[in-house]
Amino acid sequence: MSSQESPEQDATTASSAAASPAVKPKKKINKSQWLYITVIIAIVAGVILGLVAPGVASNVKFLGTMFVNLIKMMIAPIIFCTIVVGVGHVREAATVGKAGGMALVYFIIMSTFALAIGLLVGNLLDPGNGLSIAPGDSDKYPGGEQKSDGVQGIIEEIIPDTMVSSLTSGEILQALFIALLVGFAVQAMPNKVAGPVLYAVELGQQVVFKVMAMVLWVAPIGAFGAMAGVVGETGMDAVWSLMKLMLAFWITCILFITMVLGTMLKTVTGLSIFKLLRYLGSEYLLIFGTSSSESALPQLIDKMGFAGVDKSTVGIVVPTGYSFNLDGTAIYLTMSSIFIAEAMDMPMSIGEQVSLMVIMIIASKGAAGVSGAGIATLAAGLQAHEPQMLSGVDTILGIDKFMSEARSLTNFTGNAVATFLVGKWTKSIDLQRAHDVLDRKVEYTSSEVAEQTPVEAFVGANPQPAVQEPQTEIGKP
């Protein structure tokens, strides 16, 4: 007897399958969304506790301080690893020639301009005015020791006792100094030596960022303690001031994208910033959900190439921009610094603000496209500038999660615009193709690059990766 079904049974089975409704898989909330939700709940709970029981709320402020200490713990290794690897990317950019050189100059100019905009907006709005947050005890931090005046004193403070102590003393400028020395020393070495060293540093960087990701899971507890403490001490004034800072930051980022970046894009290439924003719409949703521009790195590489920019230009501008072209982070650093200075009644003179901006220019190179790196970089810059201000970082902690999306979206857009600009300057872009793609005359189709992980896309996009795994066996030349 045959085990096969009759044609009538097949037809019945097929019709039943067609008639049955398709079961849609339930959408799962990823880890980033869970963290986002818990931070919001913690902030609301902190505000309520601060209003209902100010005395109790003041006693839980230490939770925010402890979280800031965890962030502070990560500053030196993040700065060291990212600066050393970043210098390796500069080496890689130099090998590409004109495109790499133009990209680096543009990144430095735009980052400085964005920092200046943050200072300007912060001074105009005075978002921290009216708060009375007590400065931290400078003796609590190693960087708070009495410093000599003048250029001589600054130089004396930068030079550490030993190379290792620069990573343990808490002096961020010393960590930056040693990181730059190590980076340039590796640059001067032959590739067979530089490759393994940079590869080892990148492995260390992955470990550091993994630890940072673990620390961020304590953010809801830190945000609860920070908001409860500041609301318990200052009442609703703190809430309104923080909302004012957050709203001003979002508006500043939007105006920076549409007016500054949009004007440059239109002037140089003739392309519309609004059409570019539409073209990158799905990537913006991804960034908004993860609070990290790194999540959309493969798609950006793929879409820039599809829009007519030469792959070699995309391969050097986009990955290098993720370390050196962080416009949103730059605005965030200076605006938040001004807020903390005003909230602590420690106003900065023009000279001090310029000094802070110089420090932030260097420190911002450690704020790679990783969620949470922005608050760590802010802590690093403030500790290097004035250690007493570091205790004010926990005040920003309550709204940092709401500002991280604006940082990431602005950083991402800045790198997209930079790719078009460098492509135009180096004549490595098909402008007609770019117009057709942004005008939707040519529909975007993804390639294999867009399906890769950020690390795979970075390595595959670079014709000469800065870091290569050593091929020789350990112990052999």
C-alpha span between 141 and 143 (Å, rounded): 5
Question: How far does Cα 170 stand from its chain's mean position?
Answer: 22
Q: Is residue 41 part of a domain?
A: no
Buried residues in 97-108 as b, exposed as e (16+ CB within 10 A): eebbebbbebbe
DSSP for 319-364 reads: HHHHHH--HHHHHHHHHHHHHHHHHTT-PPPHHHHHHHHHHHHHHG
Between the CA of residue 322 and those of 130, 339, 406, what are the distances in Å? 37, 26, 15
- pTM score of the predicted model: 0.69
DSSP H or E stretch at residue 125: helix 98-125
Instruction: Please give the pLDDT value at position 456.
Output: 43
For the chain, the 3-state helix, strand and coil shares in percent, each to the nearest 5, are 75, 0, 25
* Closest by CA position to 311, among listed 303, 105, 278: 303
Instruction: Please give the pLDDT value at position 465.
Output: 40
40-45-47-53 Cα dihedral, nearest 10 degrees = -170
- Compute mean pLDDT per 10 residues along the chain, 477 residues long, and list them: 48 47 50 71 85 83 80 76 71 60 84 87 75 53 42 65 74 75 81 82 83 80 81 76 87 92 93 93 78 74 89 80 81 86 79 78 60 70 74 74 83 92 90 91 70 42 40 36
Q: Is residue 24 part of a domain?
A: no
Q: Is 407 exposed, middle or buried (0-12, 13-18, 19+ CB in 10 A)?
A: buried
* Closest by CA position to 466, among listed 109, 208, 100, 110: 100
Greatest alpha-carbon span in the chain: 100
Q: Is residue 56 part of a domain?
A: no
250 CB neighbour count, 10 Å cutoff: 16
In sequence order, which ranges of 126-259 are alpha helices (DSSP H)?
Answer: 150-158, 172-187, 191-216, 219-234, 236-255
Long-range contacts of 9-17 (CB under 8 A, 24+ apart): none
Buried residues in 229-240 as b, exposed as e (16+ CB within 10 A): bbbbbbeeebbe
Count Cα neighbours of 250 within 13 Å in the Cβ-side half-sphere. Answer: 12
Instruction: Please give the pLDDT value at position 32.
Output: 60
The two tokens of residue 93 are 């950019």
CATH number at residue 215: 1.10.3860
Q: Is residue 42 part of a domain?
A: no
C-alpha span between 405 and 39 (Å, rounded): 14
C-alpha span between 50 and 326 (Å, rounded): 35
Q: Is residue 377 part of a domain?
A: yes
Instruction: Please give the pLDDT value at position 435.
Output: 92
Number of folded domains that form the chain: 1
C-alpha span between 287 and 277 (Å, rounded): 13
C-alpha span between 34 and 36 (Å, rounded): 5
Q: Is residue 150 part of a domain?
A: yes
* Closest by CA position to 450, among listed 299, 309, 295: 299
34 CB neighbour count, 10 Å cutoff: 12
C-alpha span between 181 and 163 (Å, rounded): 10
| Residue type for position 290 | T
Q: Is residue 158 part of a domain?
A: yes
* Closest by CA position to 424, among listed 66, 99, 1, 140: 99
Residue written as token pair 């300057």: 425
C-alpha span between 103 and 47 (Å, rounded): 44
Q: Is residue 445 part of a domain?
A: yes
Domain assignment of residue 263, given as a range:
63-461
Cα angle value 362/110/376 (rounded, 5°): 35
Q: Is the dihedral of CA 287, 297, 317, 195 positive or negative?
A: positive
Instruction: Please give the pLDDT value at position 290.
Output: 63
Instruction: Please give the pLDDT value at position 275.
Output: 93
